[in-house]
Amino acid sequence: MADEPTNGELGRLIESLRTDMREDMGQLNQRLDKVVPMDVYTIEKTQLGDRVTALETAREKDAERVTATRRWMIGTVVTVLVALLPYLNAMVKGAGA
């Protein structure tokens, strides 16, 4: 019987265990308060994916628009040079004469 705890010691041990459990549950509740519900996470992830898709589509359209503008500018410069080439040639020949 000497190794067995007294009723007072058992009461203190049980109270200590309860205190530890309350602290652990409080910490667990604090961590759970920071967790996002699964449905909210799924909705946010879906919206983010839609937004990324929209931005990629807009970027592709902008890239196509830039390419088209460059082609138009190059075509315009070439057309102007071809149109002015006979006049420039005549000016150079006339100046050399």
- Average pLDDT over the chain, rounded to whole? 90
Span 42-50, mean pLDDT?
Answer: 95
Over residues 51-68, mean pLDDT: 96
Domain ranges of the chain: 9-96
Average pLDDT over residues 65-74: 96
**Sequence-distant (≥ 6) Cβ neighbours of residue 3 within 8 angstroms:** none
CA–CA distance, 22 with 57 (Å, rounded to integer): 53
What pTM value is reported for the model?
A: 0.50
For 76-95, write each residue's pLDDT tens digit. 999 999 999 988 888 888 76
Above 70 in pLDDT, residue 10?
yes
Contacts of 55 (CB under 8 A, 6+ apart): none
